[in-house]
Structure 1
Amino acid sequence: MQQTTIDGVACFWVDTGRPTLTARLLFRAGSADEPLHESGWLHLLEHAVLHGRGGGTLQVNGFVSPLITAFDAHGPAEAVAQHLTEVTAALHRLDPSRLKHERDVLRAEGDMRGGPSVRAFSWRYGARGPGVIAMGEPGLGRAEWQRLQERAHSVFTRGNAALVLDGPVPEGMRLDLPEGELLPIPHADECQQQLPAWYVDDSLVLSGVVGRSNGATILPDLLERGLRMRLREEAAGSYAPWATYEPVDADRALVIAGADASRALMPTLADQARQLVDQLAQGPDPAWLDDVKAMRRQAMLDPYALVGTAMRAGHDHLRGLPVLTREETLAELDATGVEDVQVLAQAFASSLLIGLPGEAIAPTDIPRVTQPVERGAVFGRRFRRADWPATTHSLVVDDEDAHLLEGDQYTCFHADDVAGMLSWDDGGRHLITYDGWGLTVEPSHWRRGHRAVEALDAMVPAARQLPMPSRDPVEPPALPHPVTRWWRAIRRPWSASALATWATLLLLAALATFLTAGSPSVLSLIVIGYFFYAAWKRHGARTYRGRTNPSASSPPEG
């Protein structure tokens, strides 16, 4: 591997002997650097700059990961060099006429993104840092050209870049970038929750946090192999187990593995997955580890895979780490033993989040991830559901909080905890907290719904109100006949507070009767006693809701 600089940009290259050239220009900034209300801005810049480029013998692409924005090119060396020269110049000479078009393209692309591996980020990180990748880039609606230019000038600089090539540097290549410093990698803050834990997804998903190392990149291979053996080869209940590794900050990475699963696996799916994790935490099979290391060594020694060494060097440079030669990287691989992987597997097991299909038998010894539910009185403007009193949900909004109530229990959405609020022209609103919990308010679903929307708009700072594109009309709820609604209300079991209130009123009435007309009847005392007893029993049997609450949604899919 060779190292040089091109116009102040660190360049790492190897000579694979190919007649064409592959290049990747890396910048140290990604989706984890973007707050929710600015999500998608780097992706928009990448799309705008690459519009109309490439074709024929020159293939171009780009991507934004949690920590990196990259521009790829492959083709004749002179064409790749010319492309990178034009791209670096275009990054700071943006065409404002492309804004709306590329924003619409990204929104269409967003409809196709997602999946269990992406959702795993939001279950762990919510709507901040690495979790933003799962939120669908709602910040695109706030992307103004002037602010995009400011973002480009802060990210796309010489000091914040690295170039990787699989051949010698073409003559005359220029990288037209301004001066700038290497941007620090933001710390990945996890949601406050007890781990291990589980949640409902549409397939099996296992995720855990490990330290970034060569051994950590081996763990996904071991997890995938274990899932394949257990679920496909032995149980014949899965087709395509998978696993991946994604750095989330300077020192840690998220390892994610999963598999589709047949209905026959549902009773034992969680147990089998956890047994695999426990097996690795007790020490991986040495034969498995040797197989993975042999596969890695073979790939690293393949002349056409030499660029992998340069690619790692580029990423290490952007982390501020020493750059390793291929020999040093091979030595690091060879030194990775069972004990090293075992420590990583134990970290994975202790931070485990399990996504399970709804039909699977859920674990009983670890908690389900649920939104915190509180009890007590709340104050503010109260809005009832359109079908009240058939349902008792209430929305209470003041200057600092929105509360979704049912009885004396509520979920709270504090203004300072709201990462963003999706806003549609038809009045629909969707609050997303930093922990990824959501609250959807459709005006037609609430009495005085337009007033509720006005209250939410006043509560959430304007910078975090995210305009969304037009959508299909939201159908108002089909309301039962008023007689039906009241009949349902009458038949609904009374709350503990309602029973206690009625018992107190009856007791006062009995006391008044005693003072004016003598002793109350035995029957009235029995009724009063029953009401107090029923209130006490219902208070003891109260339940708490989490993500199963239909009005408190799961994190939006990316």
Structure 2
Amino acid sequence: MSEYIDGVRVLRHSGTQSHTDVTLTFAVGSRDETLRTVGVAHVLEHLVMHAVRGLPIEMNAEVDLMTTTFVASGSAARVGEFLTGLCRALAEPPVERLAVEVGVLAAEDGQVAHPVVAQLLNVRYGAKGAGLSWLEGPGYDGLTPEHVTAFARTWFVPSNAVLQVTGPVPDGLRLELPSGTVPSRVHPAGRSFDGPTVVGYGIPAAGVLLTLPPDDAVRRSTLTIDVLRKRIEEECRHVGGHSYDIGADLLAGPGGSSDWVVYADAREGSEEAVSRAFVEALTDLAENGPTEAELAYQVARCQERLDADEPELRRAFSNTMGRMFGEPELEPIDRDGLAGLQPADIAAVLKSALPTAIGYAYEDNLESWEQAGFRRETLCPVISEVPAGKTFKPPLTARAFVKDARSMLWVRTDAALVLRDVDGVHEIRWDEIAGVMRTNDGTTVVLGLNGCAIPVDADMFRGAGTLLTELTERVPQDLWFDETKVDA
């Protein structure tokens, strides 16, 4: 029978230890923000942890793409104080401390995801959902007490949380979170491509985003990512000496499908070697599957985890979180099926994922990807031609002396704003504006949900003043924000 405290699901781990370890996880992360509120989950985490900082126990917290997690370890009584104080702070965030915490957050310079993960998710989702992890938005100094409080009351409710406890449960524990039900999460549609694609940018690394089906009874999708990551680690770190940080991240999607990003950093001068090793690992595994030894290693790792912990409790946690994310329930692991897994099974998963794969390479080191059949793509979508509408051009002097200005054209149509630049033709529909940023140098930048950004500057485009007036009239004020000044 399921156990709840004040509406929060409780999972008890076995053990006879005298101290208490707790993990309170909420099914909300950076992907649940908006462009206007980028960073609000991290701000809230800092504010509530400050409220319990005086307790003499070990404690920590973390925000990632999908979750916000609080952990503590100590005597049952102290851990009870931690949870009680934490939940009270979530119900009434201490927003009077917001201005001070902005400086702390700027000094921390934390990220919810590795830059390659953030970049590829932005290519796929633009300025919405997990794609926001690439964007700064208004910065921490642009968030208001109302943003923080509204976010807490929307997402940090009992039905969106699960508490794991090892050791004694604190006597009389209360988890007085904001009342209410968690809103339905809408998964944004991702950008689709006709075949595998690759993008380039200035992060010295390589990576790939793969959309995989829900895990089955042998956890085939997860094992596939483990095999790929291990192969890349072997080639880029242990054989080539090119990388140290090789990792993977997961974004749950609708119906149980998931976007996985595998990445490998590259030391200076090794960017092309890492890209080449990455592509070779990906394409070879998709064609031939892992070696018997590679597969046996991953199967053994999975079996070790099953023998070392409480698999049913782990599955209960995964399914509890999965229900909050709208995912199907995980089956128990089939040990016999796991032992009988074949290299061809892993190859089949990768081969089916390659047509929608998005690769990443450093700057112009895309040749090895293109040779493997990946088509070079722009970071944000472009359309085939400039639509009819009112046009604005840079001043004649700019076109005469600035090469890039010669190709630039700004167009206003009834449906959209359009910019032609050296990368192509970018379009942001009026009804798909994610936000409008006033930069510190006086330029106004329109940001679209599709990931495009269009500057509107009266000095850059003759007659653009009328467009700024129209933007002010058409775009709601709560979508406008100033560029952060914390690092200015």
What TM-score, normalized to structure 1? 0.73
Residues 53, 60 of structure 1: 8 Å contact kept = no
Give the secondary structure class of the aligned counterpart of 1:117.
Answer: helix
1:82-117 CA deviation, whole Å, 9 max, x = no partner?
111111112122233123333454455457665222
Pick closer, same or farther for the CA change 1:333–1:238 going to 2, 3 Å: farther
Pick closer, same or farther for the CA change 1:471–1:57 going to 2, 3 Å: closer
Give the secondary structure class of the aligned counterpart of 1:138.
Answer: coil
Q: Residue 464 of structure 1 corresponds to which residue in structure 2?
A: 479
Shift of 1:196: 0.7
Shift of 1:21: 2.3
Q: Residue 130 of structure 1 corresponds to which residue in structure 2?
A: 130
Shift of 1:427: 2.0
Q: Residue 368 of structure 1 corresponds to which residue in structure 2?
A: 376
- Kindly indicate whether residue 167 of structure 2 is the aligned counterpart of residue 167 of structure 1: yes
Amino acid at match of 1:197: T
Amino acid at match of 2:304: Q
- Kindly indicate whether residue 360 of structure 2 is the aligned counterpart of residue 350 of structure 1: no
Shift of 1:293: 2.3
Give the secondary structure class of the aligned counterpart of 2:376.
Answer: coil
- Kindly indicate whether residue 52 of structure 2 is the aligned counterpart of residue 46 of structure 1: no
How far apart in 2 are the matches of 1:136 and 1:332?
47
Pick closer, same or farther for the CA change 1:21–1:105 going to 2, 3 Å: same
Amino acid at match of 1:293: V
Shift of 1:355: 0.8
Amino acid at match of 1:417: E
Amino acid at match of 2:214: R
Query: What aligned pairs does 1:124-523 form with structure 2 within 5 A after superposition?
Result: 124-138=124-138, 143-201=143-201, 202=203, 203-213=205-215, 214-234=219-239, 236-240=240-244, 242-250=246-254, 251-261=256-266, 270-282=275-287, 283-302=289-308, 308=314, 311-312=317-318, 314-316=320-322, 318-319=324-325, 328-329=332-333, 331=335, 334=338, 337-338=341-342, 340-362=345-367, 363-364=370-371, 365-370=373-378, 371-376=381-386, 378-380=388-390, 382-385=392-395, 387-390=398-401, 391-392=405-406, 393-397=408-412, 401-405=416-420, 410-424=425-439, 426-441=441-456, 445=460, 453-454=468-469, 456-458=471-473, 460-470=475-485
Amino acid at match of 2:307: L
Residues 210, 260 of structure 2: 8 Å contact kept = yes
Shift of 1:156: 1.9
1:422-477 CA deviation, whole Å, 9 max, x = no partner?
2235422222222212234566555577666545444544232222233788xxxx
Residues 269, 360 of structure 1: 8 Å contact kept = no
Root-mean-square deviation over aligned CA pairs:
3.6
Amino acid at match of 2:29: G
Q: Residue 540 of structure 1 corresponds to which residue in structure 2?
A: none
1:369-412 CA deviation, whole Å, 9 max, x = no partner?
124144346433625246233342343446753332469x7433
How far apart in 1 are the matches of 2:272 and 2:366?
5
Amino acid at match of 2:299: K
1:160-195 CA deviation, whole Å, 9 max, x = no partner?
221112224222211113443354443242113333
For these two proteins, the number of residue pairs brought into alignment is: 468
Pick closer, same or farther for the CA change 1:259–1:95 going to 2, 3 Å: closer
Shift of 1:360: 2.2
Shift of 1:208: 0.7
Query: Identity of aligned pairs, percent?
Result: 22
How far apart in 1 are the matches of 2:166 and 2:307?
14
Shift of 1:49: 1.5
Amino acid at match of 2:229: E
Pick closer, same or farther for the CA change 1:245–1:252 going to 2, 3 Å: farther
Moved more, 449-458 or 167-176: 449-458
Pick closer, same or farther for the CA change 1:413–1:465 going to 2, 3 Å: same
Residues 224, 243 of structure 1: 8 Å contact kept = yes
Give the secondary structure class of the aligned counterpart of 2:28.
Answer: coil
Amino acid at match of 2:477: A
Amino acid at match of 1:318: M
How far apart in 1 are the matches of 2:116 and 2:330?
34
Pick closer, same or farther for the CA change 1:189–1:168 going to 2, 3 Å: farther
Pick closer, same or farther for the CA change 1:182–1:462 going to 2, 3 Å: closer
Residues 32, 133 of structure 1: 8 Å contact kept = yes
Give the secondary structure class of the aligned counterpart of 1:206.
Answer: strand
Pick closer, same or farther for the CA change 1:46–1:377 going to 2, 3 Å: closer
How far apart in 1 are the matches of 2:265 and 2:154?
42
Pick closer, same or farther for the CA change 1:262–1:359 going to 2, 3 Å: farther
How far apart in 1 are the matches of 2:119 and 2:266?
18
Larger Rg: 1
Shift of 1:272: 4.0
Amino acid at match of 2:79: V
Amino acid at match of 1:219: T
Q: Residue 13 of structure 1 corresponds to which residue in structure 2?
A: 12
Question: Any gaps of 5 or more consecutive residues in structure 1?
Answer: 474-558
Pick closer, same or farther for the CA change 1:178–1:95 going to 2, 3 Å: closer
Q: Residue 37 of structure 1 corresponds to which residue in structure 2?
A: 36
How far apart in 1 are the matches of 2:362 and 2:225?
21
1:57-95 CA deviation, whole Å, 9 max, x = no partner?
422222333332222222222211111111111212223
Residues 141, 485 of structure 2: 8 Å contact kept = no
Pick closer, same or farther for the CA change 1:245–1:264 going to 2, 3 Å: closer
